Structure 1
Amino acid sequence: MAEITAAAVKELRERSGAGMMDCKKALAENGGDTEAAMDWLRTKGLAAAAKKSSRTAAEGLVGVAVAGTKGVAVEVNSQTDFVAKNEIFQSFVRDVTALAMDVNDIDALKGATMPQGGSVEDVLTANIATIGENQVLRRMKRIEVAQGAVIPYVHNAAAPGMGKIGVLVALESDAGVDVLEPLGKQLAQHVAAAFPLALDETGLDQDILERERAIATEKAAESGKPADIIAKMVEGSVKKFAKENALLSQPIVHDGKTPVADVVAKAAKDAGASIKLVDYVRFQLGEGIEKEESDFAAEVAAAAGISKG
């Protein structure tokens, strides 16, 4: 049987909002697997429907930049937040984000030439040696429109154009920037807060939907209702999940009730122009990265040959 650590229980409790004993039982029932335990809690009705955790693991910065109808987001990781505040690191993120405007993927970006000379990858290697801490150029995404604007937003910016959450919103439109910029900022703030999983329901990952379907099926089966009723319950649950996680159908956070699609439509009507939200990017620092937590006291004791027991 897998050992259930206090740290694992604490993490699951923070993610799920469930009680400590329920979290411990969930982990025990699922061999210590946190994701399986999360699903178990949701099946039992002990946790809210989960989006990806907003608690991030890695440090560093997300940089965003725009140039008219084109925008890009780049994530560069560091081991500590201290390095993320370093001017050498911030300058690197700023330069790399600007270079990313003209390349298509992360590999091309690594080979691009920095303003001071040398490739991005070579300068990053030099920075690691200078700063004394590992750094990683992790990912990038560029979006653009034929006509309109790409609007950036950085939540809690550490410096101009960089922070822990970077968002880009692409608006295809014949309206002027006086209309598109305030609308785009409102939409980008919503994206930062609401964490949509796709632009619309058709864009949602099928694996995620199937996982939701499995959870809904198990929960519905416990109701004891007839099979046809259970099938309807499951479909209703999956449709609700899809609606809540697709950007265009989410109620905008600014009033909590108007769907994003309606906000865009109203702005277009008021401006007497065509406006279409066609794409977005949301990079949150450290998404999907497991940070290895160490017990400093245990490390010191081990180095000194002292037992903590």
Structure 2
Amino acid sequence: MALITAAQVGELRAKTDAPMMECKKALTEAEGDICKAEEILYVKLGGKAFKAASRITAEGIVAAYIAGGTGALIEINCETDFVTKNGEFIALANACAKLIVENNPANVAALSVLSLNGGTVDLARKELIGRIGENMSIRRFRRFETNVKLASYLHGTRIGVMVEYDGANEQVGKDVAM
């Protein structure tokens, strides 16, 4: 049996963002081999994602992204409002909105297979489910393209508006969206 150090647990936690005890258990099972422990965690955390998949996602956030004349609004749902404040959950929503603008996926299924952080959007979602322990789903999105300008407004994290406008005053576009 290999001696597991706090540094090893910290290194595995930094790589996977898995809970501390899960990292220690995986390292113990892998006899100190960090690569093998990562694989063990992937299987275990993926199992959590599978268990969570049947639970209802009634809360969520809306994220917006605009680049030039192209913009996107996306709604990503979770089980509780507590998770809507989680930085990783918000980052996932923002990254997905950016991917929509850059890649123009036809639907949620097409978005789910796009590349994100060395994997796919769906893999990133499942890994986040494993770390947080709540089901999450990408409910819907809308992509906007125009030859003029776009402005967006998010009211809290639950309501999103995107408007098309023509003119030099960006503040007017934001005010109309509001």
* TM-score class, shorter: 0.5 to 0.7
Q: How many angstroms does 1:62 deviate by?
A: 0.4
Q: Deviations over 1:119-171 (max 9, x none)?
A: 1011111111111110001101011112x201011112xxxxxx111110012
Consecutive unaligned residues in structure 2, runs of 5 or more = 1-56
Q: How many angstroms does 1:68 deviate by?
A: 1.6
Q: When you count strand as a share of all residues, which structure comes out higher?
A: 2
Q: Per chain length, whose mean CA-contact separation is higher, i.e. which structure has more relative contact order (CA < 8 Å, sep 6+)? A: 2
2 CA distance for matches of 1:87 and 1:145?
31
Q: How many angstroms does 1:96 deviate by?
A: 1.1
Tell me the number of residue pairs that the alignment of Structure 1 and Structure 2 aligns: 120
2 CA distance for matches of 1:58 and 1:165?
14
Q: Deviations over 1:193-229 (max 9, x none)?
A: xxxxxxxxxxxxxxxxxxxxxxxxxxxxxxxxxxxxx
Match of 2:59 in 1: 59
Secondary structure at 2:115's aligned position in 1?
coil
Secondary structure at 1:81's aligned position in 2?
coil
Match of 2:111 in 1: 109
Q: How many angstroms does 1:58 deviate by?
A: 2.2
Consecutive unaligned residues in structure 1, runs of 5 or more = 1-56, 157-162, 190-309
Q: Percent of counterpart pairs with the same letter? A: 34
TM-score w.r.t. the length of structure 1 is 0.37
* Structure with max Cα Rg: 1
1:107 counterpart letter in structure 2: A
2 CA distance for matches of 1:149 and 1:126?
36
Match of 1:165 in 2: 159
Q: Which runs of 4+ in 1 moved over 6 A?
A: none
1 CA distance for matches of 2:164 and 2:66?
10
1:80-229 to 2 correspondences below 5 Å: 80-101=80-101, 102-104=103-105, 105-114=107-116, 116-146=117-147, 148-156=148-156, 163-171=157-165, 173=166, 175-176=167-168, 179=169, 181-189=170-178
RMSD: 1.5
2 CA distance for matches of 1:73 and 1:83?
19
